[in-house]
């Protein structure tokens, strides 16, 4: 395994691999790797002949009051985990190499990024799609891998790739959870014991919504209110949003039919957590 810091060097490596006719699987990350990331790496390893992982805490997707400065950066541990999983190359660029002086080009996917998290994190998805576009241009993957927990992000990236005629596939893998159901996230490390205890309510609340729908309650407002009431038992929990949306366009579901996404974002103390499930009616 090789750790590469230079964008030019990673391009040279990619050119050689492409010339050899080998397929590239790519997992973009901000580091602080957990079993959710590792499951994506394993998928990439299974499907492709070369596996690339990027580790880059992308400043332009963080808002001014968000956790950029304290975001975990255990790079030595991340490198060891990638090595163990059979990653071929880690791309670990500096901020300066990704955003040199005078950088002024951004990629935006409106519509898909305006609801759910986009409503509360202005500019976030613009930062995500910009950096992912740069990474796709550098690494030229055949398949890129994302987790369902970040469903809105994955959908925006997929739309970007389609609209810009990028010759790659975007695979969305199931959310990996702790034994008690909490979706794995690098930000779970921020939670104190009380907040960690309350955080399990997120997935339980989503399952409550699914059960209500499966039992015939197709009133979105009623289902959402039931989940909101359920989450109130968590003393450290404050709800940012609970939404039931169309799976393809993230628009609020008016009629519950086919497949819908039930998504939520809450604060457990000062830590923002998201989760979702897909429900088939």
Average pLDDT, stretch 250-279? 95
Q: Residue 257: which pLDDT band, with cuts at 50, 70 and 90?
A: confident
**The pLDDT of residue 117:** 98
Buried b (16+ CB within 10 A) or exposed e, 117-150: bbeebebbbbbbbbbbbbbbebbbbbbbbbbbbb
Angle at CA of residue 134, ends 130 and 137, nearest 5°: 140
Domains in the chain and their CATH numbers? 2-173 (3.40.50.620), 186-275 (3.30.1300.10)
Active site residue 37: yes
Tell me if 112 sits within 8 A of 11, measured CB to CB: no
What average pLDDT does the structure give for the chain?
97
The one catalytic residue in 34, 37, 124, 218 is 37
Q: What is the DSSP string of 165-230?
A: T-S-EEEEEPPPB-TTSPBP-GGGGG--HHHHHHHTHHHHHHHHHHHHHHTT---HHHHHHHHHHH
What whole-number distance in Å separates Cα of residue 154 and Cα of residue 147?
A: 7
Q: Tell me: the pLDDT tens digits for 63-103?
A: 988 999 999 999 999 999 999 999 999 999 999 999 999 99
pTM of the model: 0.96
């Amino acid at each position: 395994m090789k750790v590469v810091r230079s964008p030019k060097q990673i391009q040279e490596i990619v050119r050689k691999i492409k010339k050899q006719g080998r397929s590239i699987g790519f997992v973009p990350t901000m580091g602080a790797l957990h079993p959710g990331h590792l499951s994506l790496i394993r998928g990439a390893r299974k499907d492709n002949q070369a596996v690339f992982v990027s580790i880059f805490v992308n400043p332009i997707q963080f808002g001014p009051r968000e956790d950029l400065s304290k975001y975990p950066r255990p790079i030595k541990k991340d490198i060891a985990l990638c090595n163990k999983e059979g990653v071929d190359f880690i791309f670990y660029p500096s901020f300066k190499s990704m955003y040199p002086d005078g950088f002024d080009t951004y990629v935006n996917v409106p519509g898909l990024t305006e609801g759910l998290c986009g409503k509360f994190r202005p500019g976030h998805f613009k930062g995500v799609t910009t950096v992912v576009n740069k990474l796709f241009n550098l690494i030229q993957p055949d398949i890129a891998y994302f987790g369902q927990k970040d469903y809105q992000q994955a959908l925006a990236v997929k739309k970007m790739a389609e609209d810009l005629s990028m010759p790659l596939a975007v695979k969305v893998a199931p959310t990996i959870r702790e034994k008690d159901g909490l979706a794995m996230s690098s930000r779970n490390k921020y939670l104190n014991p009380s907040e960690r205890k309350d955080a399990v309510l997120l997935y339980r609340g989503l399952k409550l919504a699914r059960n209500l729908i499966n039992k015939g309650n197709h009133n979105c407002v009623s289902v959402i209110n039931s989940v909101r009431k359920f989450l109130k038992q968590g003393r450290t929990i404050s709800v940012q949003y609970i939404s039931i949306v169309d799976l393809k366009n993230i628009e609020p579901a008016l009629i519950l039919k086919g497949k819908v996404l039930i998504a939520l974002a809450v604060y457990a103390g000062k830590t923002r957590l998201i989760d979702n499930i897909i429900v088939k009616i």
